[in-house]
A and B are shown apart, each in its own frame.
Chain A
Amino acid sequence: MNYIRLIVLILLFSSGLYGFSNPPHKFYVSVMEIRQKDNTLQITFSIFWDDWSRYLEEKQQLRANLTSKNEDPKAEAILKAYLKQVIAINLDGKPVKINYVGRDYESDLMYCYLEINNISSISKIAVENKFFFDYIDSQQNIVHVIRADDRKSLLLDKDKPKGLLNFSTN
């Protein structure tokens, strides 16, 4: 890791102001796993749902009752639109269409499932993920791209919402 990057990481995690105290999670991070399976890219994106719930309340004025049986259906519609707005993927320099498959909850996480169809082998993948960059200053979005046994990662934040990964073609 280069020096500047290290500094950014330290800054992000030292959370005297935002961050806070001692709840079971006092850091804001999401994980996106992009996995190639045959000719589709399976995208599993997870984020703490309590943060999403606060976002809906504070930014969208929606108390959605997330995870309960009577969750407001507007919540998923907003999620779908928001994902479309904040996530963009380019394969070998070309933007691709990302389909929303669905979402579910497990423990304290909300998992969002997205997919990209009809792809050939990936060699260059550019991922932009601005989830919560408009809401939580210290939000970090981690991206893992898994192709066969090859695995590469990105750490995205407000200063660097986009990254490019090169997979050798052999």
Chain B
Amino acid sequence: MNRILSKLFSFLFLMSAAIVFGQEEMPTKESGHTDINKFRQMYDLLATPNMFRTASGAPGPAYYQQQADYKMNVELDDKNQKLYGEETITYKNNSPDVLEFLWLQLDQNVREKNSKSLQIENSSVPLVTSAERFSKSFLSEPFDGGFNIEYVKDLNGKDIPYTINQTMMRVDIAQPLAPGLSVSFKVKWWYNINNHVTDRARSGYEHFDKDGNNLYIIAQFFPRMAVYSDVEGWQNHQFWGSGEFALPFGNYEVNITVPADHVLDGTGVLQNRKEVFSKKMLNRYEQATVSYDKPVVIVTQDEAFEAEKGFSEKKKTWRLKADNVRDFAFATSRKFVYDMMAVDINGKKVMAVSMYPKEGNPLWGDYSTKVVASTLKSYSKYTFDYPYHKAISVHSKNQGMEYPMICWNYGRPEEDGTYSDGVKFGMMSVIIHEVGHNFFPMIVNSDERQWAWMDEGINTFMQYLAEQDFGVAHPEAIGKLDKYPSRRGPAANIVRYMSGDQNFITPIMANPEYVTQLGNNAYGKPATALNILRETVMGHELFDKAFSTYARRWEFKHPTPDDFFRTMEDASAVDLDWFWRGWFFSTDYVDIALKDVKKIYVTSTPTKKAKDFAAERGIDLSQNPSLVYTISEDEEDFNPNMKTQHFMQSATTLQEYIAINKDRLINTDISNPKYLYEVTFSRPGGLVMPLIVEYTYADGSKVEVRYPAQIWAKSNNEVTKVLVTDKELTNVQIDPKLETADIDVTNNSWPKKETETKFDKFKTQIKN
């Protein structure tokens, strides 16, 4: 709009605002309030920056982290499903504090016979249940799966006193551990391995009745050092079952003895491949290391089928060594089919590996390793190059769980080998998710015990990007679909959760043990929030740079939520405090509504509203003959004849002005303004979001305008925009591509559209 014309309009609208104000009565005096603006900065929520963690979200000059190195000998008793182990832990105190004692985590104690975690579970008598389940629940001796600690000793063999409190063990070292010093000690333990299928657990064994064999996925199997940090001191919050793990980095040397006919793989570089692989396996392995396009089978299904028939009394020890990992896990069975392929990560070779029983085929042989390879490439692109030498995907019946370099994933075909799309995509998605966990939290090592969303949410967001990449890279795998069917990520998919009853929703920034709907809270909502940030608030370029900055800054370190929030702003210059506050610290939802669209006309005749306004203030309008007045169709003194006219036709004063100043009034956007509209938006929802509006004109053309979220900074609940156009407006639609997770789209359009419910759609569909 030309400046003069625009000034004139500004004046008119100021006046119209004044009219509205003038009609309101002065409210009775209210008490004051603190700053409640949605855009206030987060000084009240974030920790004060210090020498450990900077205000920009990076590790500070005094940042430290502890180191825990492990040397372990472990032996599996396959006949009795027991695991025996002995470890030497060397713990280095890099903190500036003197440590009087050490805390170790005994996660298996969650399965102790008298576990307090069991006691907090709700127990009630089921209405209907199977005889087996009933007997197991109420009539049999409870399974005892807790750790049996045989000793804690120093390197001279002297006992070190220790105290076990549920899932935590305090080791009372003889001398306080001064800054910069290390202490070494030994722990010996054993435990009964649980059946993870019947007990629904993160690790354990599955028993296959048909061939009598077990498939072991073993984790949380050794007493592990707790984290000591500048934010928590010792993170010794008990393991109740939902809040996962907080673990320091370290180097591991682990020797695992299993029956000689088992195939085993786990965290770390295999040190004695020639001892444990057969010649055939070694040859195939050599081929796999140069096969970049498809997996090479190291142990075939036929070989695994043969192995299943036996039970070797001999033993074999697999030696694994891993540097800079935060945990260790392994899988072992004589049932494993085993395949691998090489992946090129920016010039570095990484092996993508899968292990699965014949029950997983043909699905697993066809896809698992390819999905692993694609996932490593996608995540490396958005964060940092995958630093480890391999990533393994292990088949387990109904389990999805992550550890460094190795994870368990579900997805089992029918007995005849057929499977539905649901099973196939479920399997691919869980592999992408769990392999992706190598990045968050295995390497960007956040505290899962306190913040589930920092690994689950961020990882589920990355999973969405990686799924979409996989669909593009492997069109044959997604069949007829035009893109990979991601469950979480798109804004519209979170609406069902965010529109739910507030009693069942918890802010993202909450502890996983008490949040309601953990899946939506810690996975779905934060993933969607990040996707919205990338697509709608920041744009790909700014987001991707900031996100990879966060990942690189905290690679092999321990970030907090504040470090993430701060880094995303630091690297982008996008103020996101409003976004974090709304999406992460509250349970508010998005609902932006189209309140009104008014067609406005300009006239030289004073309108009733203008006259009232002037009269109240003792202004004589006839003294100002050059004024023009605006009127909308719904005002009582609106002359219907104006509808057929140009919007300025009744404004002779304005026309004269335009005629005189013609040369100065040049608007390059709208050479011939014909219509004037006032569009009012309101915000019934608590979240502020960018206002995305699609204007459709009579000739069918559409214009999308994206007003930044800050449009809500000054006028908190309602904003009005003026539109001068040369075409008649026929339709206004808020958020036409459903990118803001607006929970009520029935108020998003003008004229109002009757929205079809899912039920209506289904009924229409079955009628046809």
Point out residues on A near B: beta carbons under 8 Å.
1, 8-27, 29, 31, 35, 37, 42-44, 49-50, 54, 58-59, 63, 65-68, 71, 101-102, 104-105, 107-108, 111, 113, 115, 130, 133-134, 137-138, 142, 144, 153, 155, 158-159
Contact = CB atoms under 8 A, between A and B. Distances in A.
Contact of A29 (B124, B130, B515, B517): B517
Nearest to B137: A137
Specify which of B130, B400, B766 lies most central, judged by the most chain A CB atoms within 10 Å of its CB.
B400
B221 to A, nearest CB: 15
B202 A9 contact: no
B426 A22 contact: no
B469 to A, nearest CB: 18
A25 B421 contact: no
A24 B762 contact: no
Contacts of B501: 142, 144, 153, 155
A21 B759 CA distance: 34
Contact of A63 (B199, B415, B429): B415
Interface string B117-142: 11011111011111000000000000
B496 interface: yes
A71 B241 CA distance: 36
Nearest to A42: B759
A9 B516 contact: yes
B173 interface: no
Contacts of A12: 122
3 residue pairs, one from A and one from B, having the closest CB atoms: A16-B241, A153-B501, A68-B420
Interface of B: 110, 115, 117-118, 120-124, 126-130, 199-202, 240-242, 244, 398-402, 410, 414-415, 418-422, 426, 429-430, 433-434, 437, 456, 460, 485, 487-488, 493, 496, 500-501, 503-504, 513-519, 523, 757-760, 762-763, 766
A139 to B, nearest CB: 11
Contact of B241 (A19, A63, A159): A19
Nearest to A159: B124
16 contacts: A17-B200, A19-B242, A21-B399, A31-B496, A37-B760, A42-B759, A42-B760, A43-B759, A44-B757, A63-B414, A63-B415, A68-B418, A101-B759, A104-B762, A144-B500, A153-B503
Contacts of B513: 10, 14
A41 B166 CA distance: 51
Contact of A14 (B128, B401, B514, B762): B514
Given A13-B242, A67-B420, A108-B422, A134 B763 contact: no
B503 A1 contact: yes
B198 to A, nearest CB: 11
A79 B763 CA distance: 18
B399 A134 contact: no
Specify which of A10, A21, A44, A101 lies most central, judged by the most chain B CB atoms within 10 Å of its CB.
A21
A21 B518 CA distance: 11
Contact of A11 (B122, B500, B760): B122
A15 B421 CA distance: 29
B487 A21 contact: no
Contacts of A24: 400, 429-430, 433, 460, 487-488, 519, 523
A87 to B, nearest CB: 15
Contact of B201 (A11, A21, A37, A63): A21
Contacts of A107: 485, 487, 493
B120 A23 contact: no
A55 to B, nearest CB: 12
Contacts of A63: 414-415
Given A27-B517, A27-B518, A63-B414, A19 B200 contact: yes
A155 B122 CA distance: 16
A66 B400 contact: no
A22 B763 contact: no
Contacts of B763: 101, 113
A34 B652 CA distance: 57
B504 A68 contact: no
Specify which of A1, A113, A115 lies most central, judged by the most chain B CB atoms within 10 Å of its CB.
A113
A14 B240 contact: yes
B426 A50 contact: yes
Contacts of B127: 130, 133-134, 158
B757 A14 contact: no
A24 B496 CA distance: 16
Contact of B422 (A37, A105, A111, A153): A105
Contacts of B426: 50, 108
A148 to B, nearest CB: 11
A17 B241 contact: yes
Given A16-B241, A22-B244, A24-B400, A113 B517 contact: no
A29 B516 CA distance: 11
Given A24-B400, A68-B422, A155-B504, 17 more contacts: A12-B122, A13-B515, A13-B516, A15-B242, A16-B110, A18-B200, A22-B456, A24-B433, A25-B519, A37-B757, A37-B760, A42-B757, A63-B414, A133-B126, A137-B123, A142-B501, A153-B503
A26 B518 CA distance: 8
A37 B758 CA distance: 13
A4 to B, nearest CB: 12
Contact of A13 (B128, B433, B437, B514): B514
A21 B329 CA distance: 15
A46 to B, nearest CB: 8
A155 B516 CA distance: 12
